[in-house]
Structure formats: C-alpha cells, structure tokens
Structure 1
C-alpha cells in the first residue's frame, strides 16, 4: 500500500511541478528532492527507517519542502527527531537495534498522509487555510507519538479511555497522566514553533494546540473501540471487511486533527 501511495503522489508531484507557474515552488520541489533524500537516507543508515520507510519519507519530504517551504520542513523534522529522541530504542547507529524498531512505509504515511493532502489542496486551490490543517496534522501525530512513547512508562496510572478501567501500559486505547502531559507538551511545542516560523496569530496557536490535543484523544478512543475489541469493520456499500490497525487509527486521527483545525479557523478565528 505504501509503495502505491509513493507512486501515486510522486506522479501528483510531477504534475504540480510541470503546471506550476511559480518558479520558487518549482525550485523548492527540486531542493526538496535532494534534502529529503539525504535526510531519509541518513535515517535509514542509522536504523530509524526501513527501506520502504526511507522511500516514503523521501516522498513526504518532497511535498513538505516543495509545497510548504523550509518552514514546514522544519516542523516536520522536529516531529521526527523529537519522536525518535524520546523512544525506547537503543542508541542510533549500534548493531543491536532490532529490525522491527525501524519505522516502515505504512507508519510514515499513517502520520504524514493528511499533511500531504492538505498541502496539495493548499496549492491547487490557493487557500492558505489548508496549510493550517497540514500543521495541525503534524501536531496531532507528534502529540500522539509522545503520549504513546512516554505514557507506556506510566505503570501505575494507565486507564482505558472508554471505561477508565485500570489497564497495563501499552494497551490500545489507554491513557495515563504521564502520557496526557506528554501529549500536551508536544502539542505546545509544535504549535509554538509553527507560529514562530510562519509568523501566525495567537489564535492559530490556540487552534493548533487544541485540535492536536483532541486528535490525540480521538486516536485513543478509536483504539479502545476498534483495536482493543479487535473489531472488523465492513466498508459501507461493499462487502469488504477491514481490520482497524494502529496505522489506520493514526491516519484517521491525524486527518481529523487537521480537519478540526480548518473548521475552527473558519468559524472561530
């Protein structure tokens, strides 16, 4: 699936490059190819990404820098670097890092798909409001990742979000005091950096902060409803049965975080 997304979005990127009348945007796309390739290859060498994860990260990076400029690229890199820094993985570059610790292509797209979609919409429709959605999607992914990584270390205060039943750390749909604090801090971090580099208003800071924090809780709620119960969802109007995986839950929550930010910006700011 991730390889199909890579091929499809690379095609979209080529089309945007060809039809774009903005030389600056075309130059950004070319520079984005180089920088994204260098950064992603480095992450692969130091065992932060799998091979498929590297290629997916290159595509994501091309869109982030090409359509969002260096400012959005800074926000995206902050998400990735901070997420790796707080993880339980052994030190990068050592031979004892297990293969499963690498982030694969599906994990990359689960956190970045809606950011790319919002950037494409911003470019096609010439509507900067979609850029806020892209930033909020990154903020949601960061908030959820921090909550998961640090919340899993809170062994005494972990509860299922739907029933508040005491559960083991790492349980799908679980929340904790430490995880909630980490989610809030991550949302503040991404919101602050985004507002600074993009010179946005205080109201946008509040919107990104709130929607990222809400998106994190939506992720936990969906995890409790679907992953915890191992529910199979039937796609409407079809007989296709879909297993709700963690990657799908992440994709939905980041998309809702970005969409809520756009709605809040339209109606409340």
Structure 2
C-alpha cells in the first residue's frame, strides 16, 4: 500500500511540471515529452523505476504508465499554446494536477479504510483543492484576475468527472481521463459566466449533501452518486435553482420509488439491479439529454436560439424520466400487465409491458415535473408550459414502452431505450416552443 502512495506522489510531482507553462510558452509540452521519453526508453531499473512502476511495467521493463501520463499532459500542453484557439493555461494545469493529486488523496484514503465512498470523497476533495491552487498559481504568474468562484467550480467539476471516469476505467487509463477532463473544463470555462461566491457555495453544499444522502439511503452506488452530484452541480451553475429542483425531484422520487416494496418487486423479477442503487449508466441514460439541454441553454449567449427551446427540452427529458421510472416501479407491483403494442397479457418484467396503475403513476410524475417547471423555469406562461412538459413526459414514457416492446433485447438494452425515450420527450417539448412563447 505504501508503494502505491509513493507512486501516486511521484505522479503528482510530475504533474507539477504543468505549472511551468507560463514561463515556457510554446515549449510548455517539452518537460513532459522529456519525461515520456525517459520513461519509455531510458529508465529500466533503479530508484526511479521502482518508484513509478506498476505491475505491468515490471513485466515489460518499461514505465508505460508514466510515459502515457506524460504524453497526455504534453498533448494538452500543445492545446494550451495553439494561437487564437488556445486552451487557457490555468485550465490545462488544473486538469493535469487535479487528476494526479486527487489520485494521491485516494491512495492515502485506501491505506486507512476499505470504504469505497471515502476513497471517492478523498479523490474529489483533494483533487478539487489542488485544481483551485493550480489555477491560482498560473494566474499569479500571468498577472490575470483571481476569480475563486470560477476556479472552484471548474476544479469541482474536474475532480468529480475524473473520479467518475476513474471509477469506470483502470489506473492505466489516466491519459484518457486527463484529456477528457481537460476538454470538459475548457468547455465549461467558456460557459460559466458570472459564477459567484454565494452561488458556488450553495451549489456545492446542496449537491454534496444530497449525494451523500442518496448513497446512505442506498438509492445510488458510488459512481451513481458521483454522476448525480456532477449533473446537479452543472445544473445549478449553468441553469439555476428552478432547473435543479426539477432534476432533483426525479432523483429523489425516482430513487425512493425504486426502493418502494423492493422485496415484492424482487420476487416478481421486476426490481432494479444492485438492490435498487442506481449506477452511472442508469443516471446518465435518464439525465444525459437534460444535461445537454442545460449546457445548450448556457451557450445561448453564443447562439441565435431562444433559451426556452433548451429549457423545454430539459424539462421534457426529466418529465419523461420521471414518468417512465414511476410507471415501471409502481406498475411492476400489480398483476396482469399487458404488452403496449397488442394489449395481450404478458408476464411481469416483459419489455414493453404496461399496467393501468403504472400509467397513472407515470402521468402523476409528469404532472409534478410540469408543475415544477412551470413555476421555476423559463418555459413561458405557466399553464401552457406546464401542460407541454406534462404531455411530453407522458409521450416520452409511451415511446419507452413502445421501444421496449419492439426493439429492446440483446442488441438494444434498457439504458439505450431510456436515453432514446428522454430524447423523444425533449424533442416533443422543444418543438412546442412556438406554442409556448407565442
């Protein structure tokens, strides 16, 4: 275990080379290229090899992990020096450093506890602090303005995204994680306009608290919790409280619905896997379209598109997810389900099966989201906007059932069907924009 901590510390030390970027300018990638070359071709044994070697490296007699990490950092360094389209240097440094230092925090946590939640928490907390400090160090060198709310937002998003990707991938995939986080932060740096101290403090406090509650109640796995916190944070900052209330209503009610009479649903073969704890794939399948919509809304300052289009798409996607979840979780408790395409009786758990009770529960869920959106989101006149969101949710739920009956199976899984259904709900709602705003 101590060797893992030392190795993580070594990678963190290498990551600090990104802080030389302001002084090196167009040569910002050179230090990492030197490290990559030494790791791949020169270091075969000795203290440096023992410090950085992973199990596979010892077999190959080459520091492949260090070489890959350094090459990824060098690649991002090149993007940070391209004229006119350059990635901000502080974003580049934050992406490299928060990953390496976050992993050091995770390894230290692993040395004292086996609790996966605490490993992820250490990664995010330590990585986020490192990300803020990295951006601060770069700005102090370049003479720019210190914008700690923006720095904190970007560092938190980067640390959450890195922790999530690390949970899904392997340690040797750090280059993929680093590059993904770098481009993600580049995007959000352009969209995060006017982040305030109060706003980021409130967003972090609320999303972290609700993330912990979801994990403690067993409604989300650790990766699912990380995904939910990340999406919630982005929604609060790029949208506002009204958008977040719409999203969190789905997470809260949908999660509790999955737990409702779980044993009975398990007996009938219709219960959520993993004892009802939703993982990353489930959260993203139901929320990816909504996330794309809130990002689109934040980008309207650069687009000639009415913001209501994206607001309605967001609400329509969440309304669909809520309706479909309640229809499945409540409807699965009742007898005599019927196939949506033929209305023939089928066994519980059959793809595309519906019940009257499930349909009513789904409609109630869509109505709730419609009401929240009508009063808290910029979707036009309350009654009309709420009705559109409700109708979009119900239609999206129906699309989910139809897709389940027609195409779900070995090739198309439930998560893909959920994604397509939420997309359908978003399209229906967005297409109604002229009706809503006149």
Q: What RMSD, in angstroms, separates the aligned Cα atoms of the two structures? A: 2.7
Alignment of 1:170-185 (within 5 A): 170-185=349-364
Q: What residue number does 2:26 align with?
A: none
Aligned equivalents of 2:376 and 2:181: distance in 1?
Answer: 27
Q: What residue number does 1:168 align with?
A: 347
- Compare relative contact order (CA 8 Å, sep 6+) and give the higher one, 1 or 2: 1
Aligned length: 248
Q: What residue number does 1:215 align with?
A: 396
Q: What residue number does 1:151 align with?
A: 331
Q: What residue number does 2:275 align with?
A: 100
Q: What residue number does 2:165 align with?
A: 3
Q: What residue number does 2:374 align with?
A: 195
Larger radius of gyration: 2
Aligned equivalents of 1:252 and 1:84: distance in 2?
Answer: 21
Deviations for 1:127-179, whole angstroms, at most 9, x for unmatched residues?
A: 312011101111110000010011112203x2101121111232110111111
Answer yes or no: is the 8 Å Cα contact 1:191–1:205 preserved in 2. Answer: yes
Answer yes or no: is the 8 Å Cα contact 1:26–1:66 preserved in 2. Answer: no
Aligned equivalents of 1:99 and 1:153: distance in 2?
Answer: 18
Structure 1 unaligned blocks of 5 or more? 92-97, 232-242
Q: Secondary structure at the match of 1:37?
A: helix
Aligned equivalents of 2:332 and 2:316: distance in 1?
Answer: 24
Aligned equivalents of 1:141 and 1:185: distance in 2?
Answer: 12
Answer yes or no: is the 8 Å Cα contact 1:214–1:257 preserved in 2. Answer: yes
Aligned equivalents of 1:27 and 1:72: distance in 2?
Answer: 17
Alignment pair present for 1:246 and 2:414: yes
Question: 117-126 or 244-253: which moved more?
Answer: 117-126
Instruction: Give the C-alpha shift of residue 100 in structure 1.
Output: 3.5
The structure where helix makes up a greater share of residues is 2
Q: TM-score, normalised by structure 2?
A: 0.52
Structure 2 unaligned blocks of 5 or more? 1-163, 169-176, 263-272
Q: Secondary structure at the match of 2:404?
A: helix
Q: What residue number does 1:237 align with?
A: none
Pick from 227, 234, 245: which aligns with 1:74?
A: 245
Distance 1:120 1:254, change over 3 A: same
Q: TM-score, normalised by structure 1?
A: 0.82
